[in-house]
């Protein structure tokens, strides 16, 4: 079955702009989590959605937001982009929310560069 699909793969934006990233989870998976990965900070949790509701949120400013649709697809939006937002944004899907041993499957990521 198809894996987690993230679009676009690469994106270049200028400071002050806003951007929307998309994630389609594995068919049947209802939980989608978003992560930011930078060389200096490693992987950092942004937020998790399950059944169209945000269930967990990391320590990121309000410029970072997301949503999940009824088909479990999720979008992440970053407004007023800053140079420091340049990173690899990863999406992971899981079968269920927060279950102990539910494996998370990651997409290829979207490489965002802010200039």
> Parallel, antiparallel, or unpaired for β 10-13 and 110-114?
parallel
| Candidate list 27, 43, 53, 84; residue touching other proteins; CB under 8 A | 43
Residue 38 CB, nearest approach to other proteins (Å): 11
| By the rule CB under 8 A, 1 interacts with other proteins | no
For residue 60, count other CB atoms closer than 10 A to its CB. 16
| Candidate list 44, 68, 76, 85; residue touching other proteins; CB under 8 A | 44
Q: Which range, of 11-19, 64-72, 77-85, 93-101, touches other proteins by CB under 8 A?
A: 93-101
24 with 110: CB under 8 angstroms? no
Helix (H) or strand (E) segment spanning residue 113: strand 110-114
Q: Does the bond joining 8 to the residue before it have cis omega, within 30 degrees of 0?
A: yes
| By the rule CB under 8 A, 11 interacts with other proteins | no
Contact positions vs other proteins (CB under 8 A) = 4, 6, 42-45, 56, 90, 92, 97-101, 103-109, 111
């Amino acid at each position: 079955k198809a894996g987690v699909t993230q679009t676009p793969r690469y994106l270049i934006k200028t400071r002050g702009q806003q951007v929307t990233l998309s994630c389609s989870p594995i068919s049947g998976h209802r939980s989608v989590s978003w992560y930011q990965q930078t060389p200096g900070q490693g992987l950092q949790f942004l937020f998790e959605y399950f059944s169209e509701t945000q269930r967990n949120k990391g320590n990121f400013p309000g410029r970072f937001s997301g949503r999940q649709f009824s088909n479990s697809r999720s979008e992440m939006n970053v407004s007023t982009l800053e140079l420091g937002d340049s990173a690899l944004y990863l999406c992971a899907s899981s079968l269920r929310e927060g279950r102990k041993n539910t494996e998370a499957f990651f997409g290829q990521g979207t490489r965002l560069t802010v200039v």
